[in-house]
């Protein structure tokens, strides 16, 4: 038929069938038929697109609650093929339309949004995986050992539960587990295990990725290497991750969780750096997790949504210490253990370790909890805030990587001179070091050029009217770093101009650009980062 009917008539017939189908199923024409190319490749895919106001509203917001970009439609995929068809269709359209994968939308400034384009709601895939969203296997014959094949749309909380059923777990985590595998692998995925195991992007064997051309590609360090490293920390620019193979290790049962307080920043960082220098996986005296945070009488409180740790009586002692010093530094470490047989030796190791540290005598606090509860420690804070209507508020967050050589200048200029003096900070401030050697420079993620660098997370919450002051404070922090020559790199980066992105990527900018050209030449994917534009 296609050969005998003029092409224009053929297109019109297809278009007519397609619009009639939509009218009959939904009773009204969809607005995206005006914004997106009218010819969709098949009616089945059109069924999965929605411009329902609720769907559009959800896809135009994120955890940051500051940026809003309205898409033309939301795709609810039922398979990887749906995603590939959508991207292929855009790739063959003139002009192409933009597409953003949305995991949980836990981004801060519109990174998972697509103005006038299509947002792919990845969580829809969870309904169609038929129990295969997380598949645990062992390749005893190869060097791989135990691993899990997980859908890019899966939550890390679900990965944990599924792998624990086999007595195994991934080794590198984020503090909060209700994030998607695809979302954190597009950034880095960091937490207190990063100093030892590297970020989550250092713990991936293989991935299935649908590129910006709509090609389905399996990649690994051995196969399609360029795509593999491009995608890890690649801010969703090169493809949509639909499967990742994650290494597993035997899961501990319980953890000893210790927090210590310091009033002297250099003692605090010296101890942190000492502890992360012992980072061999099998080293007995190594801790299994290390983080740190700031405490202030106003602002970052001893207990906060990230974890409620201190008892009421500890709390009042800490508050009087805070009144004396204004600012305290809290070092947090964890040692894992498997059972009662290993408890005694673990406790001995912790005691030896504590003796080497210079926290304020008497200000050390311990807890013993289940491993799973430790990993899921942020969830209860989230549920509490949700019940008070305080979770879905603006979050003007700023996350930075600061080179070790300048961390004391940062403390002086930012923590003491900006944060303490302005006294407007609301929410946890994280401060902990990691080792560059645990990252792979071929990946797209950007970190400072020193072996040890700190992550600093200003995790602000605010009211809908007053996030502006925190935003100004964030800008002033960045300006201070710039003026002082502190070469910070943003984690979960948020820039507006090409110049800023070039500066961010530094010598990796050229590679990043070339990879974009190779895997998403029509600049379709993840427009919310504003790195590339179709006008380039
Ligand atoms: P989204 O926000 O939905 O997406 C993030 C980016 O990835 C977007 O550009 C999107 O287009 C792209 N993307 C999403 N899915 C895919 C996919 N399958 N393939 C390719 N690209 C994709 N981060 C840490 O590293 N450590 C932490 O401890 C940590 N704690 C957090 C706690 C909270 C409460 C929140 C809100 C965030 C936290 N984050 C942390 C940040 C988190 O890593 C980012 O928000 C990240 O974007 C993951 O969120 P998401 O899965 O909702 O992804």
Asked whether the CA dihedral 414, 417, 420, 422 is positive or negative, the reply is: negative
Question: What would the pLDDT profile of 12-59 be if each residue is shown by its tens digit?
Answer: 444 444 444 433 344 444 666 666 776 654 557 888 999 999 999 999
Q: Which of 223, 199, 218 is nearest to 207 (CA)?
A: 218
Contact of 288 with 276, CB cutoff 8 Å: no
User: What is the SS3 string spanning 390-434?
Assistant: CCCCCCCCEEEEEEHHHHHHHHHHHHHHHHHHHCCCCCCEEEEEE
Separation of alpha carbons 429 and 436, rounded Å:
22
Q: Is the pLDDT of residue 366 over 70?
A: yes
Contact of 195 with 276, CB cutoff 8 Å: yes
Pocket lining for ligand 1, CB < 6 angstroms: 63, 100-107, 111-112, 122, 152, 174-176, 179-180, 182-184, 186-191, 235-236, 240-241, 492, 526, 528
Give me the catalytic one of 69, 175, 206, 487.
175
Using the mean position of ligand 1's atoms as its centre, give its distance from the Cα of residue 102 in Å: 9
Q: How confident is the model at residue 339 (pLDDT cuts 50, 70, 90)?
A: confident
Give me the catalytic one of 51, 62, 82, 106.
106
Contact of 332 with 292, CB cutoff 8 Å: yes
Look at residue 470 and give its three-state secondary structure.
helix
Q: Is the pLDDT of residue 236 over 60?
A: yes
Q: How confident is the model at residue 395 (pLDDT cuts 50, 70, 90)?
A: very high
Q: For position 309, what pLDDT does the model report?
A: 83
Using the mean position of ligand 1's atoms as its centre, give its distance from the Cα of residue 492 in Å: 8
The closest-lying atom of ligand 1 relative to the alpha carbon of residue 186 is 7
Question: What would the pLDDT profile of 53-86 be if each residue is shown by its tens digit?
Answer: 999 999 999 999 999 999 999 999 999 999 999 9
**Average pLDDT estimate for 522-529:** 98
Give me the catalytic one of 51, 291, 332, 487.
291
Residue 39 has, within 13 A of its CA and on its CB side, a CA count of 16
Residue 120 has, within 13 A of its CA and on its CB side, a CA count of 34
Separation of alpha carbons 477 and 455, rounded Å:
14
Contact of 50 with 118, CB cutoff 8 Å: no
Question: What would the pLDDT profile of 407-428 be if each residue is shown by its tens digit?
Answer: 999 999 999 999 999 999 888 9
Q: For position 13, what pLDDT does the model report?
A: 45
Residues with Cβ within 8 Å of residue 223, at least 6 apart in sequence? 206
Q: For position 532, what pLDDT does the model report?
A: 96
Using the mean position of ligand 1's atoms as its centre, give its distance from the Cα of residue 159 in Å: 15
Tell me whether residue 106 is one of the annotated catalytic residues.
Answer: yes
* pLDDT above 70 coverage of the chain, percent: 90
Q: Is the pLDDT of residue 305 over 80?
A: no
Q: Is the pLDDT of residue 3 over 90?
A: no
Using the mean position of ligand 1's atoms as its centre, give its distance from the Cα of residue 321 in Å: 36
User: Encoding tokens for residue 344?
Assistant: 């005694």
């Amino acid at each position: 038929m296609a050969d005998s009917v003029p092409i224009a008539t053929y297109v019109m017939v297809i278009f007519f069938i397609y619009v009639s189908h939509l009218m009959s199923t939904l009773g009204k024409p969809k607005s995206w038929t005006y914004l997106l190319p009218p010819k969709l490749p098949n009616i089945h895919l059109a069924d999965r697109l929605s411009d329902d106001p609720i769907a559009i509203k959800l896809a135009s917001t994120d955890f940051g609650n500051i940026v809003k970009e309205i898409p033309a439609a939301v795709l609810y995929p039922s398979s990887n093929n749906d995603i590939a068809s959508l991207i292929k269709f855009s790739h063959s359209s003139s002009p192409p339309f933009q597409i953003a994968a949305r995991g949980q939308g836990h981004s801060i400034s519109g990174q998972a949004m697509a103005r006038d384009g299509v947002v792919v709601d990845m969580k829809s895939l969870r309904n169609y995986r038929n129990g295969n969203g997380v598949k645990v296997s062992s390749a005893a014959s190869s060097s791989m050992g135990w691993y899990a094949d997980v859908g890019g749309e899966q939550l890390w909380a679900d990965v944990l539960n599924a792998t624990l059923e086999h007595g195994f777990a991934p080794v590198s985590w984020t503090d909060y587990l209700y994030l998607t595998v695809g979302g954190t692998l597009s950034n880095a995925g960091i937490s207190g295990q990063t100093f030892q195991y590297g970020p989550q992007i250092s713990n991936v064997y293989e991935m299935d990725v649908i590129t910006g051309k709509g090609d389905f590609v399996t990649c690994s360090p051995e196969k399609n290497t360029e795509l593999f490293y491009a995608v890890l920390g690649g801010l969703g620019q090169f493809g949509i991750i639909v499967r990742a193979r994650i290494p597993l290790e035997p899961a501990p049962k319980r953890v000893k969780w210790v927090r210590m307080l310091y009033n002297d920043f250099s003692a605090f960082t010296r101890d942190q750096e000492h502890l992360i220098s012992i980072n061999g996986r099998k080293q007995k005296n190594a801790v299994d997790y290390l983080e740190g945070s700031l405490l202030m009488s106003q602002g970052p409180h001893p207990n906060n949504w990230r974890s409620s740790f201190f008892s009421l009586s500890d709390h009042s002692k800490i508050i009087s210490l805070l009144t004396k010093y204004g600012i305290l530094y809290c070092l947090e470490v964890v040692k894992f253990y498997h059972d009662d047989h290993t408890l005694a030796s673990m406790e001995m190791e912790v005691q030896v370790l504590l003796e080497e540290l210079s926290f304020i005598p008497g200000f050390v606090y311990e807890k013993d909890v289940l491993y799973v509860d430790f990993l899921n420690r942020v969830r209860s804070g989230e549920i509490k805030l949700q019940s008070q209507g305080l979770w879905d508020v603006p979050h003007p967050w700023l996350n930075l990587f600061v080179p070790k050589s300048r961390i004391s200048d940062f403390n002086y200029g930012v923590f003491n001179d900006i944060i303490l003096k302005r006294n407007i900070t609301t929410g946890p401030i994280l401060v902990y070091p990691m080792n560059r050697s645990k990252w792979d420079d071929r990946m797209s993620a950007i970190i400072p050029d020193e072996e040890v660098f700190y992550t600093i997370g200003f995790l602000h919450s605010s009211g809908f009217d007053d996030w502006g002051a925190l935003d100004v404070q964030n800008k002033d922090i960045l300006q201070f770093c710039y003026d002082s020559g502190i070469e910070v790199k943003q984690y979960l980066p948020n820039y507006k101009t090409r110049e800023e992105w070039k500066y961010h990527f530094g010598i990796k900018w050229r590679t990043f650009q070339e990879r974009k050209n190779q895997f998403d030449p029509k600049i379709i994917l993840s427009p919310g980062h504003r790195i590339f534009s179709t006008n380039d």
